[in-house]
Structure 1
Amino acid sequence: MSHPKSGSWTFLTRSEFRLDTPAAEATSLWDHNVVVMASGMQIGLPTPTARNADPVRLWELPPHSPQRPATTTILRAVRACVERGESR
């Protein structure tokens, strides 16, 4: 999901484990505007058919199945981008 006003993205993942991110890594992720939310936290989702001239959230790729990527897979990709100095 993209958040046009803040320029951020939200990834919906399969939370298969408890996140225990070391403090140094959590700080590094935070410094790159990455926030990992614990399983069960609520976030606002856009409706798939909303047509809004001033959108708050948009689907970049609407979910078509209940399958989600593993949280570890998404974090690995984010870490790789951060290590290369890429922005979101």
Structure 2
Amino acid sequence: MDHEPFEDTPVSRCQFYRRACGLPAVIDPPGLGRIVVHAGSVWGITMPARLGQAVRAHLHGQGNSVGPIIGHPRSGRWTFLIRPDLGEVDDMRLFAELFRLDVSVARAGAAIALPSPTASAGAIRQWIEPPASAFRPSGVAVVKAIRAWADQMSRRRTRDGDRPSGITEVDG
């Protein structure tokens, strides 16, 4: 009996994302093999990789699972797939706080590209933490981890003699 080896295609990968990972993935556009999730039941928080590493370490240190993380090697960024529980995401203060840290939130309606087995897409996105189930961390927990990193960086700058951003000297 002949058995063909399992071939990882955009269609098979998309089915895996849907069935095993609970991600509402679609191929868009079909001809290119790009796999996306339209944010709704899943959101994304994208940040510089260095910050992503600190956030992942903080979540692990707090005993939390980190859930799926997508790496973007060309841009040096990571996207955490999260539960859409950031009710305050429209709050301009939170938006401004995250913007200053080069962090963005992909919320309802945004397209979040997932790693795909196509040659070109594989070089653009890769799994840092692959999905293994439908688990996503709380967006609130990820934002708290970002804030913890920002607080630590601010204390480090202050301790090293630098002024925190936004504070200027006044001659008097």
- TM over 0.5, shorter chain: yes
How far off its partner does 1:21 sit? 4.9
CA deviations 1:8-54 (Å, max 9, x no partner) are 1100011135333542332231121100121342111103x5666x7
Q: Which runs of 5+ in 1 are unaligned?
A: none
Instruction: Please list every run of 5 or more consecutive structure 2 residues that lacks an aligned counterpart in the other structure.
Output: 1-69, 155-172
- Residue 69 to residue 33, structure 1, CA distance change in 2 (3 Å): same
1:80: which partner in 2?
Answer: 148
Relative to its length, the structure with more strand (as a share) is 2
Structure with larger Rg: 2
CA, structure 1 residues 82+50, in 2 after alignment: closer, same or farther (shift >3 Å)? Answer: farther
TM-score between the two structures when normalised by the length of structure 1: 0.77
**How far did 1:2 drift?**
1.1
Alpha carbon RMSD of aligned pairs, Å? 2.4
Q: How does 1:26-45 map to 2 (within 5 A)?
A: 26-45=95-114
Q: Percent identity?
A: 31
Question: What TM-score, normalized by structure 2, do the two folds share?
Answer: 0.43
CA distance in structure 2 between the partners assigned to 1:65 and 1:27 by the alignment: 32
Structure with the larger helix share? 2
Higher relative contact order (CA 8 A, sep 6+): 1
Check conservation: 1:19, 1:38, Cα contact below 8 A.
Answer: no
Aligned to 1:46: 115
